[in-house]
Structure formats: C-alpha cells, structure tokens
Amino acid sequence: MPNPLLDTATLPRFDKIEPEHVLPAISQVIAEHRARLEQLLETAGEPGIDSLVAPVEKMEHELSRIWSPVSHLQSVLGSPAWRKAYTEALPLLTEHGTEMSQNEQLQRAYAKVGKELSADASEEARSAVDQALRNFHLAGVDLEEADKERFKVIMQELAAIQASFEHNVQDASDAWSLHITDVAELAGLPQGAMTRAAEHAADKGVEGWLLSLDYPTYDAVLTHADNRRLRESLYKAWVTRGSDHGDNADWDNNENIETILALRHEAANLVGFKTYADYSLATKMADSVEQVITFLGELASHSRATAEEELAELNAFANIDLEPWDVTFWLEKFKQDRFSISNEELRQYFPANTVVSGLFALAERLYNVVFTETGGVASWHPDARYFTLKSVEGEILGGFYTDLFARTGKRSGAWIDECIGRQQLDGDVTLPVGYLVCNFQPPDADGVSLLTHDEVVTVFHEFGHMLHHLLTRIGFPSVAGINGVPWDAVELPSQFMENFAWSYEVLTHCSAHRESGDPLPRNLFDKLEASRHAGAALAMLRQLELGLYDFRLHAEYDLDAPPRVLETLAEVRDEVALIRHPDYNRLPHAFSHIFAGGYAAGYYSYKWAEVLAADAFGAFEEAGIFDPAMAARFREEILEIGGSRDIMEAYIAFRGRKPTIDALLRQNGITSS
Ligand SMILES: [Zn+2]
C-alpha cells in the first residue's frame, strides 16, 4: 500500500496517516530530493529562476507539506507513538535543512542567478533569491569543513533538545492534578470549570473533583477561586512546570536550557555573530541589540507610572499585600466593582461557534471573501472542522482546519500553523491550507463552549495570522504568506485583528447569550470597554519583562561563565516588574516560546509588531473601521505580500508614513510622557 503521507494530491490523509509512515516517507522524500538536486546542479547549465530556483522551491514546498501533518499530529494528539515518530524523523529533516543551506555549489548557483537577475524580474523572485543567499550565509556555507560540520551537528542537537524541552512541559502539566473532596474549597469557581473537574474525577474513578493543569482550569482558578491557598497551589504548579521544583526530576528542563543557550551561542559565533541575539536580528526588522533594549526600556518607562497607579489602586481595593496568585483574582473583583462587569457574565454571550461565525462575517466584510464549512474532510479528532475560503467571485483561495478545545495530550496555548503553503510556479498553483488550534474549555453536555472575552481576543489574533497565510498572492513558497516575513513583523496581522474584538458592532455579530440567544447588549459592551485599560499597564510591563529577559539572556551569554538563567530573570524583574515572585518561580523552565518555539531572542517581536498593529488600526479608526478602501489597501500592501518586500517599505506604502508608538500607548490607556 502506498504511504499516505506521500499522497500530496489532496489534503493530508488524516484518516490513513499512522506514526509508522513517518520515517519511511521522510527518508524517501529526502533521498529523492538529494538526487534531484544533484541532477539539477549538473544539468542546469546557466542557472536561472526557472531552471534552478523554482525547482528547489518546489522541493522544499513538497517536503514541508509532507512534514506538516507529522508536526501537527504530535502537537495536537501528543500520543507516545506520534511523539516517537516525530522525534525520530526530526534529525533527518534538520540534517537535510542544513545540508541544503550549506551546499556551496547550490549557493554559487543562486549567487549567479542573483547577479544576473534581469531588471524586470518580479519583486518576489528577487526576494526569494536574496533571502536564500542570506540563509546560506547564516547556515555557515562559507565555513571551513570542520566548522561547517560542527554547525550542522549543533542544529541537529538543538532541534532534539528543544523538542524535549516542550515534551517535559507537556508531561509535567499532564501528570499534575489536585484532588478536592470538599466543595467549599472550590468556592467562586465558575460552573464550567466545576463540571469539568467533576468529570475528570469521575473519569479517574475518584470522589469529588480533580483539578488539572490545562490552561482553562489554571485560568479559572486564578481568576475566580476565593480560596487563596488553592490559587497558590495552582500558581505554584504552573510556574514550576518542567523544573527542579516540579513533581518529577525527569522533567526538569534546567540542563536543556543551559545546553540550548550554549549551542545557540556557539552557532552564532561560528557564523560571525557576537551573540545569538545578534544572529537573531540578522533576519528581523530591528537593526541592533541596543535598538531592541532601548525600545523595550522606553515602553517600560512610559508604562511604569500608570502601572504603579494601577497596582496601588488594586492593593487598596484588595486591602492585602498582593501576591502573584492574587493579582488576576483581585483585578477581576475590581472590574466587577468598578465597572460592574464580570468575565463569567460576559462569557455567557460568547459560544465558540457564534464567535467563529462572527469572525468570518467580519473578514467577509473587510476582504470580500466567503467562508464555508466543508464536510467530509478527513481529520485527526472529532473536534476538528474544515473551512474553505473563496473570493466573492467564487475563486477558491485556500482552506483551514480548526481544533478549538483543550484535551489531554494536546500542546497548550493557541497557534496557527501552515499545513500547505501557497505555491505558483511554472503554471501550476497550490493553494494555502492552515491549522488554527486553541485550548478553550471543551463543550459542555449541551455541546456549548463559552469563551471569555480574553479568549475571543485570542481567536481574533490567531485568525489574523490565518488571513496572512491564506490571502497571500505570492507564488514562491519561501516568501509566501507568513514565510520569509521578519519575525518581528509576523505579529502585525494578528495583533491588528485583535482590535476588532473591541468593536461593539463586531461583537454583536460574535455573540448570542447561551440562554436567550441575545447579542451582547450595548450597556454590557460599554462596561467592557470602560474596563479595557484596567490592569493594561501592568500587563504591558509583564510582556516587557518577558521580552527583556529573553533578549538579555541571549545577548549577555558569556562562554566563560555559567549561564545566568535565574539571575538575569531576577535583574530584569528588579528593573521592570512591579509584582514580586517567590523564589520557587521557574518561569524559564516552561518558557516554550523561546526554548522550544521560534521566539528565541525574538519575544520582543510581540511588542515591536504591536506598535505597527496599533498604528495600522489607527488608520482604520480614522477612516472608519470597515472602510473598504482602507481594508483593500491593508490587504494589498500587507496581507498579500508575504515576505516578498521590505516590510517597512510596505508599511509606509500602506500608512503613508513610518509607525509611531503613540497609538499603542493610547490603546493601553497610557498617557505618553
Ligand atoms: Zn501570534
């Protein structure tokens, strides 16, 4: 029977793909590509876009679409068999990646193409070639043989250790639970969280309630549980995941962190950068380490006074010295008191399905597109659904899966990923397909999952990424959609989209009270809006703390001294944070964004791109947020271009000027000083 992973004629065969297909499929494709590349380089003669770049792009495109379901399934299923298949095949892929980008013959051919590219070559062709040339350099193509080999080994080790980092966090979360037999201890918890804890207990055959460490439970306890000790227990479990203070020493990420930092630093040095932070900036909008540190510091100093006021007000309101496990709880109480608003009351208006259809309606209005659910598409779980995106004229533009609810084994958080990238080379077109994954509270007995407004914002955010992926018009996969976009600009479309979750008109289409079916009433929205800035400066400082920590950790790494993982965190907190954390806090040990994801020396990107997003939304506010001309311009200048164009140039083309931080500060209720 043919290997279903290799069937690229359709969407991934999720009904057929099994872990045992992974290794043979990946080995086979890589071997074929290796042979094809050799042949290409021998016979290409005069290398050009058609004879070299297009075929290489097509091969990479094919490989990533075969790999995508593997990486996706190990994230959303997390079964041991999928994990094993993923971990076994990952080194092959990493090795192949480095081999390609260290291939001198290929680099010389690309350099020739670049030099001889005619003046009328398309911007995207030029970008694809330029970025490839840059990547050759960043992968050590110019190094001596021994150093080259070392760089390759480092990339392999990094990929494996980063995967193990993430698995430790997941295992530590999945293994933890807290058994409660006295209902009084759960006072304040919303019904949904109570029901799930009771079901969880019943599943495990124990009396009472079992709290787990998935994000919805953690968030519900920290926001609503009156029992301060219970909040502290959950907080402690959460901030010690994957650490020496966790329950199981096997999941301690300490050594992983130290090795990851050392390897990144060494790799950066090998290819001529002082630190990994400098290396990271080689592909970003930001120019220098100093610029990033200054940027974050400036935002912090603008926000500090407002944050101090917020905290003082909250302290006075709570009338206790606030510990980290108190802040969310008292902020919620404060909002209820000050604005007579509660997350739980709001949540009754936001069934997940209604939110998603309202979101589609918004995108349809802005971008003249239509979303329709497509049945009968093979998937990995009954929660998964598939939607097709068309233009109003009926042209199919792409499609995506959603998988919205938390379950055991599923990686926590919310994200989108590329299933298939857009490709349009020598006449044939492959349309983009993506995955949109969240961890919302699973539907109750009536099949309803209610979202908090924060979660509504999250789904808007991820959907913004999805539109970036789906609306691209670029044909070279390496610079289509999200690919080839500087990492500190990638969060522009997503954070831009978040703003719409604060529009009354948009929210009325996204809401239907679970009992009455009524949309969000105006007076409730007004309260929500009035409460928008409550705690915003504190939240800003929190993000700046994470951004500065990540950046300094990578920028200050010293080969001759032990890594200062916790010391740097303490220094950053002294400088930026207003909330004191206890000594057992091990934030780094579960900081997957930077130790397992793509945000290493790049977490600042959220704030960097948020400046662009807020400033871009400012243009919409000036024109009217549904203004068709404005939406068309945003689509053409930003969403469609992928990584084919210098992003600052593109931004100026959209906005008519460079961005400023004013809109972001205004959005957070911070008066610029
Ligand atoms: Zn994002």
**Per-residue model confidence as pLDDT tens digits over 255-295:** 999 999 999 999 999 999 999 999 999 999 999 999 999 99
Low-confidence stretches of the chain (pLDDT < 50) are none
Query: 492 C-alpha to center of ligand 1: Å?
Result: 8
Query: 605 C-alpha to center of ligand 1: Å?
Result: 10
The pLDDT score that the predictor gives to residue 182 is 97
The pLDDT score that the predictor gives to residue 408 is 84
The pLDDT score that the predictor gives to residue 673 is 52
The pLDDT score that the predictor gives to residue 426 is 83
Among residues 462, 491, 498, 640, which one is catalytic?
462
- Own/partner pairs, 507-513, CB within 8 angstroms, 24+ separation: 507/358, 507/456, 509/357, 509/358, 509/361, 509/362, 510/350, 510/354, 510/355, 510/357, 510/358, 510/359, 510/456, 511/349, 511/350, 511/354, 511/355, 511/358, 512/349, 512/351, 512/354, 513/348, 513/349
Is residue 207 part of the annotated active site? The answer reads no
Which among 559, 355, 325, 318 has a CA at the least distance from the CA of 449? 355
Query: 461 C-alpha to center of ligand 1: Å?
Result: 6
Query: 465 C-alpha to center of ligand 1: Å?
Result: 7
The pLDDT score that the predictor gives to residue 417 is 97
Spell out the residues 6+ positions from residue 628 whose beta carbon is closer than 8 angstroms to its own. Answer: none
The pLDDT score that the predictor gives to residue 672 is 55
Query: 428 C-alpha to center of ligand 1: Å?
Result: 31
Query: 491 C-alpha to center of ligand 1: Å?
Result: 5
Query: 466 C-alpha to center of ligand 1: Å?
Result: 10
The pLDDT score that the predictor gives to residue 44 is 62
Query: 358 C-alpha to center of ligand 1: Å?
Result: 20
Query: 552 C-alpha to center of ligand 1: Å?
Result: 22
Is 418:469 a contact under the CB 8 Å cutoff?
A: yes
